[in-house]
């Protein structure tokens, strides 16, 4: 029986054979197995691919145990808070300084290249929620940590930090775009709803710019140049010297994450503003209930809503779409 493999399988298989990084090769092998049709004609192919996956997992496990390549242990950062934002950029763009100014983390900050050697997460507080920021080693012709691919693919938002304090930022930014594209990661201001099926294995990642050191001479002009070079991308100018700019950056990051906050209250009590439910825009009352507990979502009969542009205590059904800042009171 013929295998009848889809065209995108052969495209990804060629990339798989050429890939040198073990962790990325494992990810691609798992993807090849997932798109392989499941019938008698592919039984041998499936068995071979499963064997390759098993071998790659053993290689990674062996590397971790030996300590020969610590970077293999760094390709995943557990998500915390309302969203995970990865800070990337050329050397000395200011990623570590921003992490220090915005979060509880204490990165090594030095006036020389490549002071950041491993990813470092920190929690940024914005109004009633916390957002996870992750500082990463620089991306340049001299250095590229392969484990960054896994971290970037898993992120909710990419923030590319560019240094507005000096001319020539364009080259460093372009290298970051090109290097990640070479490794099948496309930085974009808008993730397409669908794309060519032959693009299997390519990750489109929502990305914004942080135009850092905006107060340096010529900073505003370079920020404008950055916006012109990358139309459609959000560009947030900032400086660690100005709290107003830092607060604006927090708000921009929250907006770019594309999430809403919904608060809950029990009957006869005040709303709990300390632990909001995080949802995607357009989410319904029923989806909010599922976040609390799936069994609860089946049991409640209706909800009451408080929020901007609504009647206080307005009764709504499960399909009602929520807005940022809404307060829900569930009734069983």
Q: 222: closest CA among 205, 204, 209?
A: 209
If you compute the radius of gyration of the chain from its CA atoms, what whole number of angstroms results? 23
Question: What number of other Cβ atoms are within 10 A of residue 120's Cβ?
Answer: 22
Evaluate if residue 71 carries a pLDDT over 80: no
Helix (H) or strand (E) segment spanning residue 97: helix 95-102
* Maximum pairwise Cα distance, the chain: 69
pLDDT at 59: 78
The DSSP-derived string for 38-95 is: -SGGGHHHHHHHHHHHHHHHHHHHHHHHHTS-GGGG-S-----BT-EEEEE-STTSSH
CA distances from 150 to 24, 25, 83 (A): 8, 11, 16
Distance CA 175, CA 154 (A): 21
Instruction: Evaluate if pTM is beyond 0.85.
Output: no
CA distances from 176 to 21, 117, 261, 312 (A): 18, 17, 32, 49
- pLDDT (tens digit, 9 = 90+) per residue, 85-130? 999 999 989 999 999 999 988 766 555 555 557 899 999 999 999 9
Q: Once rounded to an integer, what is the mean pLDDT over residues 78-82?
A: 92
Label residue 190 by pLDDT band (50, 70, 90).
Answer: very high
pLDDT at 107: 66
Pairwise pLDDT comparison (45 vs 231), residue with the higher score: 231
pLDDT at 224: 97
Q: Once rounded to an integer, what is the mean pLDDT over residues 165-170?
A: 92
């Amino acid at each position: 029986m013929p295998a009848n493999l889809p065209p995108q399988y052969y495209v990804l298989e060629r990339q798989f054979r050429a890939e040198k990084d073990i962790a990325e090769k494992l990810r691609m092998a798992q993807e090849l197995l997932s798109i392989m049709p499941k019938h008698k004609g592919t039984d041998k192919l499936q068995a071979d691919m499963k064997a390759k996956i098993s071998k790659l997992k053993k290689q990674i496990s062996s590397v971790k145990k030996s300590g020969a390549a610590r970077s293999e242990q760094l390709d995943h950062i557990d998500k915390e808070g309302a969203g995970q934002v990865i800070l990337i950029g050329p050397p000395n763009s200011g990623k570590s300084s921003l992490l220090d100014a915005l979060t509880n983390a204490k990165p090594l900050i030095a006036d020389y290249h490549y002071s950041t050697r491993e990813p470092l997460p920190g929690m940024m507080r914005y109004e009633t929620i916390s957002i996870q920021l992750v500082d990463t080693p620089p991306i340049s012709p001299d250095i590229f940590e392969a484990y960054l691919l896994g971290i970037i693919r898993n992120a909710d938002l990419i923030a590319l930090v560019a240094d507005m304090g000096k001319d020539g930022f364009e080259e460093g930014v372009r290298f970051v775009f090109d290097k990640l594209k070479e490794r099948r990661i496309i930085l974009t201001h808008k993730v397409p709803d669908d794309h060519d099926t032959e693009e299997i294995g390519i990750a489109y990642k929502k990305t914004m710019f942080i135009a850092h050191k905006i107060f340096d001479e010529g900073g505003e002009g370079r920020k404008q140049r950055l916006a012109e070079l990358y139309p459609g991308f959000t560009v947030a100018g900032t400086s660690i010297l100005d709290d107003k700019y830092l607060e604006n950056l927090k708000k921009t990051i929250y907006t770019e994450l594309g999430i809403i906050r919904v608060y809950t209250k029990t009957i006869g009590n005040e709303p709990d503003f300390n632990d909001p439910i995080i949802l995607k825009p357009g989410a319904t009352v029923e989806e909010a209930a599922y976040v609390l507990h799936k069994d609860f979502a089946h049991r409640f009969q209706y909800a009451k809503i408080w929020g901007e542009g609504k009647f206080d205590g307005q009764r709504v059904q499960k399909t009602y779409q929520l807005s940022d800042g809404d307060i829900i009171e569930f009734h069983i």
